[in-house]
Amino acid sequence: MPQVSPVFSLFSQCLYIIKNNLEHIYPTPVKSVKKRLKLETSTNSCSIPQTTEGESDNNPFHKIPTVLLEQIISSLPRDKKMKNFNIGFLITTELKKLIIPNLCNEQYLNFRKLETLQVLVLQKTNVGDSCLKIIGTWCKNLRVLDVNHCSRVTDTGIEWLILPSSDLRNTLHELFISCRSVTKRGTQMAVQHFSALQVIENQKIFDVLVAVVKSAAIVSLPPQVLKFAFIRLNIRPAGLYRKGNLGLVVGCCPGLLDLTIVVKKGLKDSDLFCLTNLKNLRVLRIMGVKSSTGDEITFDMGIAPVLKVVGNSLKVLDLAYLEVVDIWTIVKFCPNLNSLIFQRQSQSLSSLSENEIIQLRKEKGRVIFEDLKILECGFNLSNDILFGLLSCPLLEEVEISDCDALTDNFLQEAMTKGIFKNLEVLCFTACNLVTKQGLDALLLNENRLVEIIFSFCNKVTLRNVYNWYKIARRNNWKLILEFENFDTERIIYPTYSQRY
């Protein structure tokens, strides 16, 4: 059975009360409200005053430890507009991390007092270019800046950040600028002027890097070989893949640890060979888009040769885009995975001989991956492979989809051998052979489950889930149950208070 709901700490209860009563504790004066409304209707969205009400010596928030203040700010509701609260009351000069609620009015922020700030998250706020000018001038120690989905940020704002006098040119490590008004020009300015940049998020980044590298090769004699310090990159061209462009970008980012490739028309198996140069790669995700046909690249001719070279260093492998993979190739070449996502299994795609697979199975025994914590699989898996995957001792989150191997008998055998005892999250999607009988036993056995999700499982009904909810509620279990099918939109049954 799941664990009993915990007694919430005094700290978590206090945090809940504070964040939900800030508007009543410190309501914004009427004059400030009128001033804010005036600012909101002006063209300059960041006419931030030199001083704010929050700088008062009587402000009790400024007397508590900075780390607690940062937690209060981070816990503020991100989808509720706090119309009558001046967030400036929580801002102090000692803050290192500041995550602003999505609907917060940035007029309440005084960036001039945030010189020690290292992380600033302003996602989905109405900050604009003038704010970036102030940030670039005063937040001299910033390492992370996130203005994703800020519609008023444009290329001009990036220009303000990269002024020759700006310290950010040498200190900024992560920049998130997925904004509809930031063009290739703005992204290119960021790439060329932030020398310490390790992460940049923008849909145009791949095309920008291709253009920058090709331009450097043409302009310089001898051709200049560019190297960037990026450790994470999302590869997605605006149009089709052009031969050699993937290798061009990967070649100028030799330190990549985390790579996502969005598969589109034009990408070939041969293009993936350049990934073998990423000797320290930790995360590899192969994703698709609606226009992907599913046959641009293959497992045996494209992915397997890469895994043979870099698989030992991989911690996360997401191959959900590929319809078919070979699990034994992955087991052989990627023994240190923490997370694995794939669809169907086909031994015909294996890079190993039949004798090698037999030997590998003997060596691994019941446990296929020693360190695996997250698993998404299913479909045509056989009983023995599914059993082996679920036997990984550190497994915490599992999603099984469309899997005929998952039956009541399978669950019973798995529980007898203690397979599910460490799982925390379990999701069944279109698993049509498992019934209430098998799931009753799962719920009542000793386990650490905190969330179970049933999506479109034909033999699991809303009544079943509601009855389990009543049992969990009666026993005070810390458990969330979710259910959806073709007749019912997703319903969530939390059996304990989620306020804290």
Q: Which amino acid is at 55?
A: E
Which parts of 327-461 fold into alpha helices (H)? 327-333, 354-364, 383-390, 408-416, 436-444
Query: Does 5 reside within a domain?
Result: no
Residues 155 and 46 in one domain: yes
Q: Is 149 within 8 Å of 169 (Cβ atoms)?
A: no
Q: Of the residues 321, 339, 364, which one is the last residue of a structural domain?
A: 364
Query: Does 465 reside within a domain?
Result: yes
pTM for the whole structure:
0.90
Classify residue 225 by burial, with Cβ atoms within 10 Å: 0-12, 13-18, 19+. Answer: exposed
The domain that contains 54 carries what CATH number? 3.80.10
Q: What is the mean pLDDT of each run of 10 residues along the chain (500 residues)?
A: 76 81 62 47 48 58 85 77 70 88 63 87 90 92 96 96 93 97 97 96 96 84 78 95 96 97 95 97 94 89 98 97 96 97 94 93 86 96 94 96 96 89 94 95 88 97 96 92 96 73
Classify residue 10 by burial, with Cβ atoms within 10 Å: 0-12, 13-18, 19+. Answer: exposed
Q: Which amino acid is at 49?
A: P
At 325 the pLDDT is: 97
Residues 222 and 127 in one domain: no
β-strand 258-263 against 232-235: which pairing, if any? parallel
Residues 328 and 212 in one domain: yes
Helix 383-390 with 408-416: angle, nearest 10 deg: 40
Query: Does 14 reside within a domain?
Result: no
At 164 the pLDDT is: 92
> Quick count: other Cβ atoms within 10 Å of Cβ 476?
13
Classify residue 354 by burial, with Cβ atoms within 10 Å: 0-12, 13-18, 19+. Answer: exposed
Q: Residue 448 belongs to what domain range?
A: 373-500
β-strand 480-485 against 488-494: which pairing, if any? antiparallel
Residues 269 and 240 in one domain: yes
Residues 63 and 146 in one domain: yes
Residues 209 and 195 in one domain: no
Query: Does 192 reside within a domain?
Result: yes
Q: Which amino acid is at 146?
A: D
How many separate domains does the chain show? 3
Q: Give the CA distances from residue 58 to residues 54, 62, 94, 247, in Å, rounded to whole numbers and listed in that order.
A: 9, 9, 17, 59
Residues 169 and 119 in one domain: yes
Hey, which residues does 258 pair with through a beta bridge?
232, 283
Q: Residue 291 contacts by C-beta under 8 Å, 6 or more apart in sequence?
A: 264, 265
